[in-house]
Structure 1
Amino acid sequence: MNYKDIVIRFGKLHILRRIVHQKLTMDYPLHPGQLHLLEFISKNEGCTQAQAAKHLMITPASVALSTKRMEKSQLIEKKTDPNNLRCNKLYITEKGKKLSETLRKTFDEFDRGMFKGFEESELITLTNYLDRLIDNITDKYVLDAKNADLLSMVALRKKIETERKKESLND
């Protein structure tokens, strides 16, 4: 087997996971990728949009759009900070908590099913191989993936784009 066959399988796995995640969320008032934001707000009640954007490594504009949709769906509430009227604090609603818990259970169940039949030792070996692949990529492209929320593919893409821009400025 050559590298290309392995890379194709990574791509296929990634696409299959995205398709299943979209199917699992299509009956809920949540767009793909928003569960991470909802969970962040749940764990960081009163956070700002800027804090959420920084933690999830997505643009403030993406957070603004997502929070607007989530507020319209009554999953979160925005409250103006009395000390800074330009700043909105984010809070999860009861509906948002229930949805977050439901989808987290659903996704965890999906992930467990994906690894069905694997022995613990095989999972450890797989994790070690994946860590080596991540190290190889991050070392070559000078990315700080170890300190990143790798659940956000957008974040990784944006880091790569930023590095490209820096390199082109140095040329």
Structure 2
Amino acid sequence: MNKDELVLRKFRDLFNKMTWLNKEKMEDVLKGYRPSEVHCIEFIEKNADSNVTKLSESLYMTRSAISKLMKKLMEQGLIESYQKPDNKKEIYFRLTEQGRVIYNLHEELHQEFRERDRSVFSQVTEDQFDLMLGFIERYSRHLDTEIKKQGIGVKPE
């Protein structure tokens, strides 16, 4: 196995381990909410003026799927839609108080997981972080280019 295959396999293994380790706690605390719903809630909270297009590009879901998800989240009272006074065409989303509760629970879980893993990250030097982040950014740009070739939206920078 060459090194690029090994790196990709190790990334997959790492991601699968994190998912497995976090899954039970996430499902217990966020019972009744699907990962796609929680990720939409997270995106809306962290990005002003979130709309279907931005959500679709960021979460790599179709606009149709996002529209259905937004309708469900509104019916659950987790988000609300709004329009800007100067743009009556575009519909944006923001969290309700109930949506913020879900967002905060999710953030608390991530903080707990970061604390659990701090012993590993505390040993990483700035240069090592820079090298890892540089590789991830280059690979991500490459994948964005490949996605664009297929005519699928690219995550905005």
After TM superposition, the score normalised by the length of structure 1 is: 0.63
Q: Distance in 2 between matches of 1:119 and 1:48?
A: 37
Give CA deviations for 1:106-147 in whole Å, capped at 9, x if unaligned. 112213322424435x152442231242355357x3x5xxxx
Give CA deviations for 1:65-104 in whole Å, capped at 9, x if unaligned. 32123223321123577863x6433221111101101111
Which residue of structure 2 lines up, in the alignment, with residue 160 of structure 1? 146
Which residue of structure 1 lines up, in the alignment, with residue 24 of structure 2? 23
SS of residue paired to 1:26: helix
RMSD of aligned C-alpha atoms?
3.4
Task: Structure 1: give runs of 5+ residues left out of the alignment.
Answer: 144-155, 167-171
Whether contact under 8 Å (1:80, 1:89) holds in the other structure is: yes
Q: How many residues align?
A: 148
SS of residue paired to 2:35: coil
User: Aligned partner of 2:25: which letter?
Assistant: L
Which residue of structure 2 lines up, in the alignment, with residue 8 of structure 1? 9
Higher relative contact order (CA 8 A, sep 6+): 2
| Overall identity of the aligned pairs, in % | 19
Q: Distance in 1 between matches of 2:33 and 2:125?
A: 31
- CA pair 126-76 structure 1, distance change in 2 beyond 3 A: same
> Displacement, 1:58?
4.2
Q: Distance in 2 between matches of 1:44 and 1:114?
A: 26
After TM superposition, the score normalised by the length of structure 2 is: 0.68
Task: Structure 2: give runs of 5+ residues left out of the alignment.
Answer: 153-157
